[in-house]
Chain A
Amino acid sequence: MNYKVEKIPIEFSINGQERRVSVKPNDLLINVIRDDLYLTGTKYGCGIGECGACTVFLGKETVLSCLTLAASVDGKEITTIEGLAKGSKLHPMQIAFLKNAAVQCGFCTPGMILTAIALLKENLNPSEEEIKDYMRGNLCRCTGYVQIVKAIKTCAEGGKSESI
């Protein structure tokens, strides 16, 4: 190889805060979020786009941070699970997950909650089938799917007046 791999300075907003970091071309977004910014709510599950544990919002859409180059988010907006609560006030989806016991080991939960929020942005009142279909890229190995679907349904019903 006759090229020089240099660090790339990038600037992006994460959970409303502007951050500046230097990344290598092969640095993945998940590792910058976890190891450089210490936001460890975003989880590494499979690393190949099967499980959804590393889901974050890039702008208004969810993406998988394990398959996103950090260099590619220069100038963009990221929201992780840590960015949902306003102070001590949890996001309605977080409350719905808690109330419906949709969390067992908790590893899939950040990805589940972010994906569920994306669903409700697209479809305010999804049916059970639509919920299952939308959530199909988020795996829970405790198999808590019944409670997760219930939590999302409850949030959709109760969340009509609240902004999600």
Chain B
Amino acid sequence: MQTDTKILAQEFEYLAPKTLDEALDLLDKYKNKNIRILAGGTDLLVKMKTTDLKVDYLMNIKDISELNFIDIRQGLIIGAVTPLSHIIRKEKVRVKYTALYEGIKAMAAPSIRNMGTIAGNICNASPAADTVPPLIVYRTELKLQSKRGERNVLLEDFITGVGKTIIEPDELITQINIPKINKNTSSVFLKKSRVKADLSKINLAVYLEREGNVCKDCKIVFGSVAIKALRAEKTEGFLKGQIINSELINKAAKQVSSEIKPIDDIRSTAEYRIAMSKEMLKDGLELAWARAKD
């Protein structure tokens, strides 16, 4: 492991495909070699500088323009290498996909968001990733492509653990497909961190569909409380179909901590995360409920 972060000490071969076809060809060719995909580099290059991660082939996909787009016609389709900062400039993201907007706004700092990509944040598979809980509450699907073909996978099933996903060595995430959302819905993202630019100690995305006084549908996803972002399905079931009032919200908040499995680490303690999960859920539900009114 190098100790000087001024340089990138390890040597590797640099591959810079300009089209998706070229990238898939290269992945197929090098799938049995030690190849890594570089997008924004804000996680990968830091790991290559500060951990034992060694890479023999580095394939930069950031300049593949066909993977850099935001399509708002039906739902929201985001190209894999679209910078995070471009996503939050879209009015539709702020208005309709508020939790995603708030999640990205809560990440790092503007320069990092200019570099970092949405697929990069997903593939890095950090339990603290701020785009993941919002994307899961919207039932986001990922399009994975390889020379063999393509498949669509629910984001919820894509990440399996810390830094672990079900992606095959010859596959590339090409699109993030976020379904159209119903009327009378709202979403909220909340995060606790030491200072704003830091990684989450705990984060939460809530999605609510409201019908009068009743919660028609509800999704709750916590980050940084387990090996991957976690859906609180029991609490979702507890709220679905119910008339929402502060008593019910308090009850939901009380029980949600039994669904999470936090640990002590450098950023926080399990005890703090459990205590915060209750308060955050309360705040999140109240805010989402109020927003769904409009």
Contacts and interface: CB of A to CB of B under 8 A. Distances in A.
Given A61-B114, A66-B6, A49 B62 contact: no
Task: Determine chain A's interface SS by DSSP, over half rule.
Answer: mixed
Interface in A45-78: 46-50, 52, 55, 58, 61-64, 66-69, 71-72, 74
Nearest to A62: B111
A63 B283 CA distance: 34
Interface stretch (B20-28, B50-58, B248-256, B273-281): B50-58
Contacts of B266: none
Interface residues on B, range: 35 or more
A64 B42 CA distance: 9
A22 to B, nearest CB: 13
Interface residues of A, number: 40
Interface of A: 1, 3-5, 8, 24-28, 30-31, 44, 46-50, 52, 55, 58, 61-64, 66-69, 71-72, 74, 115, 118-119, 133-134, 136-138
B5 A47 contact: yes
Contacts of B196: 133, 136
Contact of B14 (A25, A44, A50): A25
Contacts of B42: 49, 64, 67
A68 to B, nearest CB: 7
B183 to A, nearest CB: 31
Contacts of B41: 67-69
B13 interface: yes
B112 A49 contact: yes
A69 to B, nearest CB: 7
A49 B16 contact: no
B38 interface: yes
B56 A3 contact: yes
A68 B8 CA distance: 10
A66 B4 CA distance: 12
B49 A48 contact: yes
A64 B112 contact: yes
A46 B12 CA distance: 23
A69 B111 contact: no
Contact of A49 (B7, B46, B85): B46
